[in-house]
Amino acid sequence: MSALETWLTIILLTVATILTRSSFFLLGHAVKLPPKVQHALRYAPAAALAAIVAPDLALVDGALQLSWTNPKLLAGVGAAAFFLTTRHLLGTIIVGMALYSLLRVML
Amino acid sequence: MSNTQASTAHETAVDLEKRAYREGMKAGAPTMPGIFAWGMVTGMAMVKSGLTIWQALGMSFLVFAGSAQLASLPLMAADAPVWVVFLTALVVNLRFVIFAAAIAPHFAHLPWYKRMWHGYFNADITMALFPRRFPDSTVHKTEGKVGFFNGICYSNWWAWQGGSVIGILLASQIPESWGIGFAGTLALLAITIPLTVNSAALVGVVVASVVAIAAASLPYRLGLLLAVIVGMTAAMAVDTYLDKKEKA
């Protein structure tokens, strides 16, 4: 990306923040969200985040590697297990990075 | 006489908001190390993915949305079209629309520019803490809300931006071999889990993951948007099926 495109992207991302965060603060009571739409608004970000995380965990140099020798996959599974039991963000990052570093040395 | 009374009443209201502000800060305090670390990880990821220090600082202080920033970085590094990056960030941010719908009624008495300002700061942590202190039944009261809200939001902002700036400045000191960019993926993983609220969301997550992996080589990183659309459709299909089953 050129410097200009990068700044344009940063401005557009700022617009994305304001559009979503301030949405109902500005609309007020004018619009009510039906339950179906509320569900969709939760499913979409979960799907999007998974679609970013999954390839980073499962692909090694563009090739699928679902095996015990893939340190990112194992560290990701370990970090997810840690977060599920503790709900602790900082701990999850530390445990995941520790596992990742350790596995890269060992495998 | 009435003057003194009015000024005393004013002082009490100010005291009340100040107390509420401190209460908000206290409520948010246990989460701040995590927010700081997440900011730091994002700061490092921005520089490591090729942004200049000024671009990274600009992104941090303007965009102020960790998950959307982390989601955009690999796309920007891969020279994806600007609209693909924008759409991806918008989808990742959609959860804030529900947060806004839940919190905004509490601030309906304020002028639009104040509501917009508060909305900008309404992040994951406020959604977790504010409704616990002010449930729906308190929607028509105003006392203490702005104070409590700001107490959470401004400590969140400081922790996030502090971590981010340190991450941006440290990034060049950290060797590439540490693979610190992976910490960004771990943070996103931790954000995804609480969003997976039911089996429909889980199906969406699994389907989106599989499609994203299978379509990773599509040009312009379009595999990501394809994965979101297919994952969403799958989640909504399961949602509808569960609804019907419940009614039957």
Note the pLDDT tens digit of each residue in B52-71. 999 999 999 999 999 999 99
Decide if B62 is inside a domain. Answer: yes
B1 band by pLDDT with thresholds 50, 70 and 90: very low
Judgement on whether residues A27 and A40 belong to the same structural domain of the protein: no
Residues 6+ apart with CB under 8 A from B105: A29, B139
Copy the structure tokens of residue A51: 């679609």
Of B72 and A33, the structure prediction assigns the larger pLDDT to: B72
Judgement on whether residues B214 and B147 belong to the same structural domain of the protein: no
Copy the structure tokens of residue B212: 């994203």
Contact A45 B187 (CB under 8 A): no
Q: Cα separation of B204 and B230, whole Å?
A: 8
What pTM did the predictor assign? 0.86
Judgement on whether residues A48 and A70 belong to the same structural domain of the protein: yes
> What's the pLDDT at B203?
97
The mean per-residue pLDDT over the stretch A84-104 comes to 94
Of B197 and B25, the structure prediction assigns the larger pLDDT to: B25
Per CB-CB distance under 8 Å, the chain A contacts of B140 are: none
Q: Mean of the per-residue pLDDT values for chain B?
A: 91
Judgement on whether residues A70 and A40 belong to the same structural domain of the protein: yes
Judgement on whether residues B33 and B90 belong to the same structural domain of the protein: yes
Closest CA to B130 of B111, B92, B156, B168: B156
Decide if B247 is inside a domain. Answer: yes
Judgement on whether residues A24 and A37 belong to the same structural domain of the protein: no
Note the pLDDT tens digit of each residue in B100-117. 988 999 999 999 999 999
Judgement on whether residues B127 and B209 belong to the same structural domain of the protein: no
Contact A41 B97 (CB under 8 A): yes
Note the pLDDT tens digit of each residue in A9-47. 999 999 999 999 999 999 876 677 888 888 888 899 999
The mean per-residue pLDDT over the stretch B206-225 comes to 91
Q: Which H or E element spans position A59? A: strand A59-60
The mean per-residue pLDDT over the stretch B189-209 comes to 93
Query: How many angstroms separate the CA of residue A68 from the nearest CA in chain B?
Result: 18
Judgement on whether residues B111 and B226 belong to the same structural domain of the protein: no
| Alpha-helix runs per DSSP H in B78-111 | 82-93, 95-103
Query: How many angstroms separate the CA of residue A61 from the nearest CA in chain B?
Result: 11
Residues 6+ apart with CB under 8 A from B139: B105, B106
> What's the pLDDT at A82?
97
The total number of structural domains in chain A stands at 2
Judgement on whether residues B143 and B203 belong to the same structural domain of the protein: no
Per CB-CB distance under 8 Å, the chain A contacts of B58 are: 7, 10
| Nearest residue of A to residue B103, measured between CA atoms | A25
Per CB-CB distance under 8 Å, the chain B contacts of A101 are: 178-179
Decide if B185 is inside a domain. Answer: no
Decide if B4 is inside a domain. Answer: no
Judgement on whether residues B120 and B68 belong to the same structural domain of the protein: yes
> What's the pLDDT at B6?
62
Q: Return residues 125-184 of B near A (CB < 8 Å).
A: 178-180, 182-183
Q: Cα separation of A64 and B224, whole Å?
A: 16
Judgement on whether residues A43 and A54 belong to the same structural domain of the protein: yes
Of A61 and B153, the structure prediction assigns the larger pLDDT to: B153
Q: Which of A4, A14, A53, A73 to mutate to test the interface with B (most CBs of B within 10 A)?
A: A53
> Looking at B128-132, B146-150, B162-166, which range is the least confident one?
B128-132
Per CB-CB distance under 8 Å, the chain B contacts of A2 are: none
Judgement on whether residues A15 and A49 belong to the same structural domain of the protein: no
Judgement on whether residues A18 and A67 belong to the same structural domain of the protein: no
Contact A50 B192 (CB under 8 A): yes
Contact B104 A79 (CB under 8 A): no
Of B182 and B1, the structure prediction assigns the larger pLDDT to: B182
Per CB-CB distance under 8 Å, the chain B contacts of A51 are: 208-209, 211-212, 223-224, 227-228, 231
Judgement on whether residues A9 and A38 belong to the same structural domain of the protein: no
Residue B7 predicted with pLDDT over 70: no
Q: Is A60 helix (H, G, I), strand (E, B) or coil?
A: strand
Judgement on whether residues B76 and B153 belong to the same structural domain of the protein: yes
The mean per-residue pLDDT over the stretch B28-41 comes to 90
The total number of structural domains in chain B stands at 2
Decide if B3 is inside a domain. Answer: no
List the Cα angle A31/A34/A40 in 5-degree steps: 110
> What's the pLDDT at A76?
97
Closest CA to A43 of B91, B153, B123: B91
Query: What residue type is assigned to position B216 of the chain?
Result: A
Per CB-CB distance under 8 Å, the chain A contacts of B107 are: 25
List the Cα angle B55/B57/B62 in 5-degree steps: 95
Q: Cα–Cα distances in Å, from B238 out to A96, B206, B221, B242?
A: 32, 13, 27, 6
> What's the pLDDT at B8?
72
The DSSP 8-state label assigned to residue B196 in this structure reads -
Query: How many angstroms separate the CA of residue A75 from the nearest CA in chain B?
Result: 9
The mean per-residue pLDDT over the stretch B27-40 comes to 90
Q: Cα–Cα distances in Å, from B227 out to A17, B7, B61, B67, B77?
A: 22, 59, 30, 17, 19
Residue B238 forms contact with A (CB below 8 Å): no
Judgement on whether residues A52 and A84 belong to the same structural domain of the protein: yes
Judgement on whether residues A67 and A78 belong to the same structural domain of the protein: yes
Select from B115, B144, B177 the last residue of a domain.
B177
> What's the pLDDT at B102?
86
The DSSP 8-state label assigned to residue A74 in this structure reads H
Domain containing A24 equals 1-32
- Cβ atoms of B218 and B229 closer than 8 Å: no
Decide if B186 is inside a domain. Answer: no
Domain containing B73 equals 17-177
Of A56 and A42, the structure prediction assigns the larger pLDDT to: A56
> What's the pLDDT at B4?
57
Residues 6+ apart with CB under 8 A from B101: A23, A24, A33, A38
> What's the pLDDT at B208?
96
Judgement on whether residues A1 and A51 belong to the same structural domain of the protein: no
Judgement on whether residues B136 and B242 belong to the same structural domain of the protein: no
Contact A97 B186 (CB under 8 A): yes
Judgement on whether residues B147 and B64 belong to the same structural domain of the protein: yes
Q: Cα separation of B178 and B158, whole Å?
A: 27
Query: What residue type is assigned to position B42 of the chain?
Result: T
